[in-house]
Structure 1
Amino acid sequence: MKYILILVIFVASLQLKWVSGTPQVPCFFIFGDSLSDSGNNNKLMTFAKANFLPYGVDFPDGPTGRFTNGKTAVDLIGDELGLEGYIKAYSSVEEEEILKGVNYASGSAGIRVETGYQVGERINMDEQLKNHKEIVLRIRTSIGQNKSMDHLNKCLYSVYVGSNDWMLNYFAGFAAFSTTPNAFADALITQLYTQLNTLYDLGARKIILFGLGPLGCLPMLNQQGKCSKYINDIMDMYNTKLRSLTYTLNNKYGNAKFIWINTLGIISPNNLQGLGLKVINIPCCGMLQALCSPLTIPCNNRADYAYWDNAHPTEAANKVLAQRAYTTHNPSDAYPMDIRTLAML
């Protein structure tokens, strides 16, 4: 009877915490590309835009600039964290909202400055960090130096970038003719290392580094419906280096924690199929090159599809990534811990 009473109290406490809706972190700052963009490209001169139907057909606010049918992985992680609403894009965030976080991600952007030039304007990682520095200064002005640093130290920071450096810069650019995949990966890691040090200097202490997904399985890059082993092997090589970078940064900064998410493993075709996604090699919407054609009617069974367009996952696939990044199912899902554990530190 005693143990039953303890169990009831424990469950009740969990329910109370859930009902209270207290966010697990005070703020969430998001860096990256179209996999995280929530509208920063809407006002840019670029072909990389998603502020029209059928994009956003399943999102509460309709088309917002998210490159999927519904929520992105970072939106869904925000849900897991108990955040109120979704983190606003830098281009539209109001002054009273910046303490909750800002989304700086930009479609077609990369680690390197030149990445994505083929499609027009974009906000690369260096520019995103400049925008974040401006937001940090505004927060300091608002609540003071000491209070702002304490606030920023408790926030979560998501860095999900690099796909375009490979898709638009290496495979579709000229880099493949002048360097090896290994050398290009080393160059990306070196530049990202500098960028992450800048992020640390601006107060970040809880940083999520998303590995790159199986780019060889994207509808635009797969080979007659089958994943390109050549491309995915390169992604595996790069992700190994990114995981090692996490180890290096954790050794360098004793008062910060960097974690790595095994995106390639989590959203592999075999794993997605095992979780009920039936269509893993073709897009759900009618295509205009890489993106959905405006105002076309997408597939009805969107929960069965892994890919929304030729380059971006559906909300269903994003949900798989978000849930296993937040709470790992396998030890290989995250290193050295998952997002839920990082948020509690």
Structure 2
Amino acid sequence: MIDWWNQFEFVFPWLLPLLVVPPLIWYWRFRKTRDQEVSLRLPSTKSIAGLSSWRSTVRPFLPILRVAALSALIIALARPRLDLSEESVTAEGIDIVLTMDLSTSMGATDFIPNRLEVAKQVAREFVSRREFDRIGLVVYAGEAYTKSPLTVDKDIIDRFIAELEMGEITDGTAIGTGLATAVNRLKDSDVASKIIILLTDGENNQGYHSPELAAELAKEFGIRVYTIGVGSGQETLMPSSPLGGGRYTFKPTRGTVDDKLLAYIAETTNGRYFRARDEEELASIYDYIDELEKTEIETTVFKRYEEQFGRFLLIGLGLLLLETVLRYTVLRTVP
């Protein structure tokens, strides 16, 4: 749908002040005609009562038609047109795989309501901002699997992240296996920039790939890895034993994050390691990555105009013709 108000423009806008001329001419002629009117004194108006007709009522408005006609012709001379510019966007996107820890320790309550829910919300906000990128999702605990391959369908990724829950994978923290699975999703990509955002709150204690080997594989395929360690570092309530139905017993625990390992993975792949001790820090980390990994967008604007002067020219000529016809036919007066 065309936004007429914002797209309407004039090629010769300096002609528009002439629009004041037709009303001034009309006003001048109105004053002149009124001054020349002849009065007739009658002893009574009863003899002419009821002599008014639709012609006498309409005829005073004839000059308005001429004013409108001249105004339309002036607008046509100013050459109105619609700017129908089109934008062609060519984007060099980035392939991103979010790799998220689903171990039971992600249920710790040092983040409100827990680490996993906060991590999911922040990841969803990040995805919503990556308009031109393909994004995939890998999840891991004691094992790892691809929740979603690379896709431009942000609604699918958002839904998959929202549905993540602890307990859907064998418990544990297989950082190496999670990273290797993410590398496998990106190794055949032909885009210039490939990144993995790996989030965990623990130490590698499961899996059949060592984190160091997975980092070397990422480096070989030109994949940059941003690692995020989550947890306050303070004693907090953490799930310990499952009760069924997604419920757990909790006990006070001081969780540990392998800062050295996560820093090594990031350094090996020319990425960066971040530590998130609360919700605000985690959100700022994703904001920083979002700013750091900018998609290259090339925009070409094609100018196209739709001329409108013909429309106003026809209106002006039509009104002028109507005024002339009415003046010398049905609204004709005898001098």
Q: Comparing both chains, which one has the higher relative contact order based on Cα–Cα distances under 8 Å and sequence gaps of 6 or more?
A: 2
Larger gyration radius, structure 1 or structure 2: 2
Q: TM-score, normalised by structure 2?
A: 0.38
Q: TM-score, normalised by structure 1?
A: 0.37
